[in-house]
Amino acid sequence: DADVTQTPRNRITKTGKRIMLECSQTKGHDRMYWYRQDPGLGLRLIYYSFDVKDINKGEISDGYSVSRQAQAKFSLSLESAIPNQTALYFCATSDSRGSEGYTFGSGTRLTVV
């Protein structure tokens, strides 16, 4: 099993729909992150969490919300999806010291039509 698992792997949804992307990890890491990746723009940080009761906005949090349900779970929601949220979304984890680097999931490809 992968250390960081994202579900679903692919999703097509309609404009205006609510959608949740889920992330779970078996690394035992405290810190979790959500990124989106668009062609030519690299990875941009949406939200991050340093522990269960901690939520922080990243560069591009507008239109997104997150929930850290447990140490191992961090979900990303789009309350009302719009086409420019079509992207590849990655979840990542790290420990508090950063000594192991960051572990990324395989990504969720989201298309909003």
Partner 1 sequence: LAKTTQPISMDSYEGQEVNITCSHNNIATNDYITWYQQFPSQGPRFIIQGYKTKVKNEVASLFIPADRKSSTLSLPRVSLSDTAVYYCLEGNNRLAFGKGNQVVVIP
Residue numbers at the binding site for partner 1 (CB under 8 A): 4, 33, 35, 40-45, 48, 58-59, 88, 90, 92, 94, 97-107, 109
In this structure, what are the phi and psi dihedrals at residue 84, rounded to the nearest 5 degrees? -75, 5
Cβ atoms of 110 and 87 within 8 Å: the answer is yes
Residue 62, C-beta contacts closer than 8 angstroms, at least 6 positions apart: none
Residue 58 or 63: which CB sits closer to partner 1?
58
As a whole number of angstroms, the distance between CA 97 and CA 93 comes to 12
As a whole number of angstroms, the distance between CA 78 and CA 20 comes to 6
The least CB distance from residue 55 to partner 1, in Å, is 15
Residue 45 or 52: which CB sits closer to partner 1?
45
The least CB distance from residue 62 to partner 1, in Å, is 16
The least CB distance from residue 82 to partner 1, in Å, is 23
